[in-house]
C-alpha cells in the first residue's frame, strides 16, 4: 500500500512487513481476550477474598523473566500455540478482529475516493460500489482484483477471491482441516473491511466469509437495499 | 549421482527437519532411552507416491553427529580462513569487511555434505554422492523460496521451535520435494 | 595450486608437524593449532559414522573380527571446501593423517592434492621413519624431512 502526499513521491513499504503485521491480528485478539478473562477472574477472586469466602492468597504480579512476553506459559514468541486456544472461536475475538477491519475500511474508502475524483462520481448504484470494492479496494490491499462477483439483484452479493493473500501461505502440520480451522478467524478481517467501506458510503450490510476450496474464499454480502 | 538426504538445524542446535530419499536406512539408530519420550516427533506423513521418510531421524545419533561435524568444521573455517578485502567489492557490498570465511562442503569417500548457514544461525545440509559438484544455489533456493514462503510467511507455523518440535506442514514438505526431485543430480 | 599449509597428525590426533609455505591463512596461537588438529581428528572419525550408505561388508578385517577397517581412508573425511581455502586429508593405514590446505579449486585439484600428500608420505617414510633418533608419535624435528617437504611443495607451486 502506498501512502500518498499530494506533492511528494509516494513512499513505499516492503509488503512482506505488512503481511507479517497482519499475521499477528488473530494472536493479538486472542491474547487480549485472555488478559480480559484473567482480570475478570482476579477481580472475582479479590471480591470473594473481601467477603472472606476464600483463603487469601497474595496476588503476585511479577512478569515472567526469561522469554515469555505473555502470561500464558505455552505462548512462547516464535511459536503458534496461541492459535490452539479455545478462545479463537469466541464471539469476543470474532468481534474484535472484525472491528479492526471495520475501522480500516472506513478510512480506506476516504483515501481511495479522495485520490480519484472520477470514481466517486461513478458510484451511483450499489452494483458500482461492489465493483469498486472488487477492483480498486482489493487491488490496493492485496495487489490483485477479486476473481468473481455474483449478485441476485436483490441486495445480496457473492465475491470470490481464488487465493486470498492472508491465508494462501497457511499450512498446518496437522493437516488440511486444521489449516482451514486456523484460517477462519483471519477471514473476519477482510469481512470487516468490506463492512466498513459499505458503512462509510451509507450502506448497512452484513458480511460473512467462507473457505470453499482452500485458498479460495467467498464473501457473502447481505444489504437491505433492493437494486 | 544421487541425493541421499536433506537436514535442517536451528540455532538452538536442534534438528528441525529431516528428509531422506534412501530406500534402506543404515543410519545409526537412536538410543532406546530417548525414543520412548516423544510422541510428538513421530515421522511426518508423506504425500502419496513419494519415497523415503520425513522427520524420522531427528532425534537420532546420526543427526547429532552430523550437527557436531558441521559445527566444528564451520568453526575451523571461520578461524583459519581469511577473505581478501577487495577494494572494488567493498563499494557495492559495505559489509564485506565483516564477512567471515564460511564452510561450503565436506566430502568423504562415500558421500559429500553441502552446507549453508543463514545469518540467523539456521543450518541447511544436503548429503549427496561425492560426484555431485556444488549445491550452494540449491541450498539458497531452499532457504529463500521454500523456507521463507512456507514457514516464515505461514501464520500456522512456528518459527522458533521448542525442543523436539519439527517442521511438519505439508506445503513445506511438498516444496522441498519439488525442488530436490527436479534436480539433474537426483537419481 | 597454492599450498597454504601442511599439517601432520599422529594416531591420537596430536599435531606433530606443521609448515606454512605460502601466507594466506590466519595466524593462530600454538594452542589453537593443537585444538584444530584434535578437532580434525574427531571430525574425521565422525564423518565415517554418518554415512548415508551402508558400509560394505568386510568379513573380519585382518582377522581382528571388526566389520570395518579401523583406519579407513575411504569413509573418513577426505576434503573440505570453504570460500577462502580447500583442505585435503589423507589417512594412512597406520592412523597417521596428512592435511593439506590450499587455495580453493576444482575436482582436478583434489587429485593433484592427493598426489602431493602421497609424495609427502613417501618423504615421511624415508626421512622420519628411517631416522633412528625419532620417537614415534612425537613432534617431527628432522632437517632432511623439512628440506624434502619444501622441495615437494615448491615443485607444485
Chains that touch B (3 or more CB pairs under 8 A): A, C
**Cα separation, C8 vs C100, whole angstroms:** 9
Give the per-residue pLDDT at B58.
86
Average pLDDT score, chain A? 80
CB neighbours of residue A210 within 10 Å: 11
Indicate whether B112 pLDDT > 60.
Answer: yes
Contact A171 B172 (CB under 8 A): yes
Give the per-residue pLDDT at A11.
82
For residue C76, the chain B residue with the least C-alpha distance is: B108
Q: Which overall architecture, per CATH, does domain A16-50+63-223 show?
A: 2-Layer Sandwich (3.30)
Asked if A83 reaches chain B (Cβ–Cβ under 8 Å), the answer is yes
In chain C, what percentage of residues exceed pLDDT 90? 50
Interface of B with A (CB under 8 A): 44, 149-150, 153-162, 165, 167-172
Average pLDDT, integer, range C25-47: 92
Predicted confidence (pLDDT) per residue in B39-50, tens digit: 333 467 776 667
For every residue of C101-143, DSSP letters joined together read EES---HHHHHHHHHHHHHHHHHHIIIIIT-TTPPTTSPP--H
Q: Phi and psi of A36, rounded to 5°?
A: -65, -45
Indicate whether B75 pLDDT > 90.
Answer: yes
Q: Phi and psi of B115, rounded to 5°?
A: -135, 145
Q: What angle is formed at CA B136 by the lines to CA B29 and CA B99, rounded to 5 degrees?
A: 110
Beta strands C3-9 and C97-102, pairing class? antiparallel
Average pLDDT, integer, range B9-27: 80
For chain C, how many structural domains are there in total?
1
Predicted confidence (pLDDT) per residue in A123-132, tens digit: 778 888 888 8
**Cα separation, B28 vs B6, whole angstroms:** 16
CB neighbours of residue A19 within 10 Å: 15
Q: Which overall architecture, per CATH, does domain B3-186 show?
A: 2-Layer Sandwich (3.30)
A35 min Cα distance to partner chain B (Å) = 22
Give the per-residue pLDDT at A169.
87
Domain region containing C35: 3-55+63-156
For residue B131, the chain C residue with the least C-alpha distance is: C107
Q: Are C19 and C149 in contact (CB under 8 A)?
A: yes
ipTM: 0.86
For residue A179, the chain B residue with the least C-alpha distance is: B156
Beta strands B123-128 and C3-9, pairing class? unpaired
| Chain B residues in contact with C56 (beta carbon < 8 A) | none
Beta strands C97-102 and C86-91, pairing class? antiparallel
Predicted confidence (pLDDT) per residue in A164-175, tens digit: 888 888 888 888
Average pLDDT, integer, range C115-122: 92
Q: Are C91 and C44 in contact (CB under 8 A)?
A: yes
**Cα separation, A95 vs C30, whole angstroms:** 68
Instruction: Give the range among A117-126, B106-115, C80-89 with minimum mean pLDDT.
Output: A117-126
Per DSSP, what are the bridge partners of residue C99? C7, C89
Contact A179 B172 (CB under 8 A): no
Q: Are B88 and C89 in contact (CB under 8 A)?
A: no
Cis peptide before A215 (omega within 30 of 0): yes
Average pLDDT, integer, range C126-149: 90
Give the per-residue pLDDT at B156.
85
Binned at pLDDT 50, 70 and 90, residue B91 comes out as low
Q: Is the pTM of this model over 0.95?
A: no
**Cα separation, B6 vs B180, whole angstroms:** 9
Instruction: Give the range among A160-174, B160-174, C49-63 with minimum mean pLDDT.
Output: C49-63
Give the per-residue pLDDT at A195.
92
HEC per residue, A60-121: CCCCCCCCCCCCCCCCCCCCCHHHHCHHHHCHHHHHHHHHHHHHHHHHHHHHHHHHCHHHHH
The more confidently predicted of residues B13 and C69 is B13
| Domain boundaries, given as residue ranges, for chain A | 16-50+63-223
Give the per-residue pLDDT at C66.
53
Predicted confidence (pLDDT) per residue in A56-108, tens digit: 443 344 443 345 556 666 677 778 888 888 778 888 888 999 999 999 888 88
Per DSSP, what are the bridge partners of residue B3? B128
The one-character DSSP state at C38 is H
Give the per-residue pLDDT at A68.
56
For every residue of B73-118, DSSP letters joined together read HHHHHHHHB-----HHHHHH-TTGGGPPP-EEEEEESS-EEEEEE-
CA distances from A44 to A41, A50, A91, A93, C119 (A): 5, 10, 22, 22, 85
Q: Are B108 and B90 in contact (CB under 8 A)?
A: no
The more confidently predicted of residues B43 and B166 is B166
Amino acid at each position: 500500500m502506498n501512502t500518498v502526499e499530494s506533492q511528494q513521491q509516494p513512499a513505499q513499504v516492503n509488503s512482506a512487513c505488512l503481511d507479517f503485521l497482519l499475521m499477528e491480528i488473530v494472536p493479538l485478539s486472542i491474547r487480549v481476550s485472555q488478559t480480559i478473562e484473567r482480570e475478570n477472574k482476579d477481580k472475582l477472586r479479590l471480591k470473594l477474598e473481601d467477603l472472606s469466602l476464600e483463603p487469601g492468597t497474595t496476588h503476585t504480579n511479577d512478569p515472567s523473566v526469561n522469554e515469555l512476553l505473555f502470561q500464558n506459559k505455552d505462548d512462547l514468541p516464535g511459536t503458534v500455540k496461541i492459535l490452539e486456544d479455545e478462545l479463537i472461536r469466541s464471539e469476543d475475538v470474532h468481534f474484535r478482529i472484525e472491528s479492526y477491519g471495520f475501522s480500516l475500511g472506513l478510512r480506506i474508502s476516504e483515501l481511495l475516493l479522495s485520490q480519484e475524483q472520477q470514481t466517486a462520481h461513478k458510484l451511483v448504484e450499489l452494483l458500482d460500489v461492489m465493483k469498486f470494492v472488487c477492483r480498486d479496494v482489493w487491488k490496493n490491499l492485496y495487489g490483485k482484483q477479486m476473481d468473481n462477483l455474483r449478485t441476485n439483484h436483490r441486495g445480496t452479493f457473492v465475491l470470490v477471491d481464488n487465493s486470498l493473500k492472508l491465508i494462501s501461505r497457511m499450512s498446518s502440520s496437522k493437516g488440511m482441516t486444521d489449516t482451514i480451522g486456523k484460517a477462519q478467524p483471519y477471514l473476519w478481517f477482510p469481512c470487516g473491511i468490506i463492512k466498513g467501506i459499505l458503512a462509510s458510503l451509507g450502506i448497512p450490510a452484513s458480511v460473512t466469509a467462507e473457505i470453499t476450496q482452500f485458498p479460495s474464499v467467498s464473501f457473502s454480502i447481505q444489504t437491505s437495499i433492493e437494486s | 549421482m544421487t541425493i541421499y538426504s536433506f537436514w535442517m538445524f536451528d540455532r538452538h542446535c536442534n534438528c528441525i527437519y529431516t528428509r531422506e530419499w534412501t530406500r534402506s536406512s543404515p543410519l545409526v539408530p537412536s538410543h532406546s532411552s530417548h525414543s520412548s519420550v516423544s510422541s510428538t516427533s513421530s515421522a511426518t506423513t508423506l504425500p502419496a507416491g513419494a519415497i523415503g521418510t520425513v522427520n524420522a531421524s531427528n532425534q537420532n545419533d546420526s543427526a547429532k553427529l552430523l550437527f557436531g561435524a558441521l559445527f566444528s568444521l564451520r568453526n575451523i573455517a571461520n578461524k583459519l580462513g581469511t577473505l581478501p578485502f577487495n577494494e572494488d567489492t567493498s563499494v557495492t557490498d559495505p559489509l564485506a569487511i565483516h564477512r567471515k570465511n564460511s564452510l561450503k562442503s565436506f566430502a568423504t569417500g562415500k558421500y559429500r555434505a553441502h552446507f549453508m548457514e543463514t545469518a540467523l544461525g539456521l543450518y541447511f545440509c544436503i548429503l549427496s554422492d561425492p560426484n555431485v559438484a556444488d549445491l550452494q544455489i540449491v541450498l539458497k533456493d531452499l532457504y529463500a523460496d521454500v523456507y521463507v514462503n512456507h514457514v516464515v510467511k505461514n501464520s500456522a507455523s512456528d518459527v522458533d521451535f521448542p525442543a523436539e518440535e519439527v517442521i511438519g506442514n505439508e506445503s513445506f514438505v511438498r516444496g522441498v520435494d519439488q525442488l530436490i526431485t527436479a534436480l539433474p543430480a537426483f537419481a | 595450486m597454492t599450498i597454504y599449509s601442511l599439517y601432520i597428525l599422529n594416531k591420537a590426533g596430536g599435531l606433530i608437524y606443521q609448515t606454512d609455505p605460502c601466507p594466506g591463512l590466519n595466524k593462530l596461537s600454538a594452542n589453537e593449532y593443537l585444538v584444530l588438529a584434535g578437532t580434525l581428528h574427531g571430525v574425521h572419525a565422525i564423518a565415517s559414522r554418518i554415512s548415508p550408505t551402508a558400509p560394505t561388508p568386510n568379513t573380519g578385517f585382518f582377522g581382528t573380527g571388526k566389520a570395518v577397517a579401523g583406519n579407513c581412508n575411504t569413509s573418513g573425511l577426505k576434503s573440505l571446501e570453504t570460500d577462502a581455502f580447500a583442505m585435503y586429508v589423507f589417512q594412512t593405514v597406520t592412523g597417521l593423517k596428512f592435511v593439506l590446505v590450499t587455495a580453493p579449486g576444482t575436482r582436478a585439484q583434489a587429485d593433484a592434492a592427493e598426489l602431493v600428500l602421497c609424495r609427502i608420505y613417501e618423504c615421511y617414510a624415508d626421512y622420519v621413519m628411517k631416522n633412528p633418533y625419532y620417537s614415534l608419535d612425537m613432534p617431527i624435528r628432522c632437517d632432511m624431512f623439512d628440506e624434502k617437504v619444501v622441495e615437494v611443495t615448491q615443485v607444485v607451486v
